[in-house]
Every structure is written in structure tokens, then in C-alpha cells.
Amino acid sequence: MLKKIIQIFEVIAKQLAVAFFFACFLIVIVNLLWGDKLNLYVSLVNSIAIVEKSDSNDSNEVTSFDSIKKRLVNYPKWGTIWATLKIPSINVEAPVYHGDTLEIIQYGIGHYAGSYFPGEGASIIFAAHNSREHFMRLPQLKIGEKVIVEATYGTYTYEVYDTKIIKDTDTESLKIQTDEEILMMYTCYPVNVIGHKDKRYLVYAKLVGEEHEN
């Protein structure tokens, strides 16, 4: 009797293993053949969510910058859009939200609230998922390429000068400093792996140009 039960469990285990293999195989095939379309659909759904989120939270609230004090006159509310990030060389154009929680970065680029804003002359930290529309192609960025932040109060251009792969516990590489305006952007690494990752791909870019709206 016990032997029969063991045999039944072995059969079930084999069937589950086969089912799991084919499920993984199907996911890979779907991603290869229709990955771009699926990402488009997800982006459309997220866009609807972003509009609803923006309408309810007074998005794009930041409107002015004090160039003498190098500070924003008024700061955005948590979870609202205050800029658009553009990286032409890797075809990225995405909204930037104030805050970088897992909920926020479902919709776009998250701005770490403990860092500064463009124009304030100090460290700025952006985080995003390794999705196609966000930071999946971040490792393709080359030294010297441009990153543009179109804020509601001006446009800021940064130039990539360094990249590195760090542990997810490495806070020293993301240390806030106030003697130079540096944009730091990071995502999970490797970017083509699904599931938990304990490494981050980090890009450093320095301010090379700015245009204030007012």
C-alpha cells in the first residue's frame, strides 16, 4: 500500500515538473514573439492608471525655481509626476514621480525623496524597474551619452561619466553629496533575469546644461 502511494506521488511530481517546464518554455516563447506588444498593452494600462493617479494628486504641481537660492519655490506632492526623463540613445521617455516605492515605480521612474531635484546642485537619485519602457536598456548607455530631465520648471541635461554594478545593500555608491550636481540612475541587474536580484546596475551622469522656465 505504501509503495503504491509513493508511486502515485512520483507520477504527480513528474507531471508537475513537466507542466512547470512547459509553462516556463511558453513564457519565454511568448516574451520573444510578442514581448513588445505585451509591453505596449501594459504601458497603455499603466498610462490610464497614471492619468487617474495624476488627477487625484494634483500632478505637475511644481512650477517655479529660485535660481538665486538654487531651490524649488514649491515641491511636488508624494506620488505625483514632476518631470519626464528622456534618454535618446536607449529610447527611453518616461514620467518621473516623486517617491520610489514599489507602487510608484510600477508607473514610471521613481525619484528618491531623500535626494535633491535638478538645479539644486546636489545628488539626484532615480530608480526604475528593468522593463523595456524604463531601465531595461540602462546597461547599453555609454560614457558621454546624454540624459535629459524635462521638469515642470526647466530642462536639465546630464552626461554619463561612469557606470558600475553594485550589491543591493551598497548604500555608499548612492551616497548623497552637495558639492556637485550628479544624477544617479539604477535598476535591478542582470536586467534580463526574471525574479529577485541582489545586484543593481548604476549609472552616474553630471550636469552639463540647464534651461529654466522662469
pLDDT tens per residue across span 142-180: 999 999 999 999 999 999 999 999 999 999 999 999 999
Same domain for 36 and 121, yes or no, is no
Same domain for 187 and 113, yes or no, is yes
Same domain for 112 and 160, yes or no, is yes
Distance CA 147, CA 160 (A): 7
Same domain for 145 and 52, yes or no, is no
Number of residues that this document lists for the chain: 214
For the question of whether the overall pTM of this predicted structure is more than 0.75, the answer is no
**Ramachandran class of 99: left when φ > 0, alpha when ψ lies in -120 to 50, beta otherwise:** left
What percent of the chain has a predicted confidence (pLDDT) above 90? Answer: 61
Domain span at residue 194 reads: 60-212
Same domain for 104 and 202, yes or no, is yes
Same domain for 115 and 146, yes or no, is yes
Residues whose CB falls within 8 Å of the CB of residue 191, separated by 6 or more in sequence, listed in order: 130, 135, 136, 137, 138, 139, 201
Q: Any idea what the Cα angle at residue 50 is, between residues 44 and 55, rounded to 5°? A: 135
Q: Is pLDDT of 82 > 70?
A: yes
Q: Is pLDDT of 209 > 90?
A: yes
Looking at residue 68, what is its pLDDT? 87
Same domain for 22 and 70, yes or no, is no
Band (213; pLDDT cuts 50, 70, 90)? confident
Q: Which burial class, exposed, middle or buried, applies to 82 when counting CB atoms under 10 A from its CB (0-12, 13-18, 19+)?
A: buried
Looking at residue 100, what is its pLDDT? 94
As for how many domains the chain has, the answer is 2
Distance CA 111, CA 202 (A): 14
Could you give the residue ranges of the DSSP H alpha helices within the chain?
2-56
Same domain for 36 and 77, yes or no, is no
Same domain for 64 and 152, yes or no, is yes
Same domain for 45 and 91, yes or no, is no
The three cell numbers of residue 190 are 542582470
What is the CATH classification number for the domain harbouring 131? 2.40.260.10
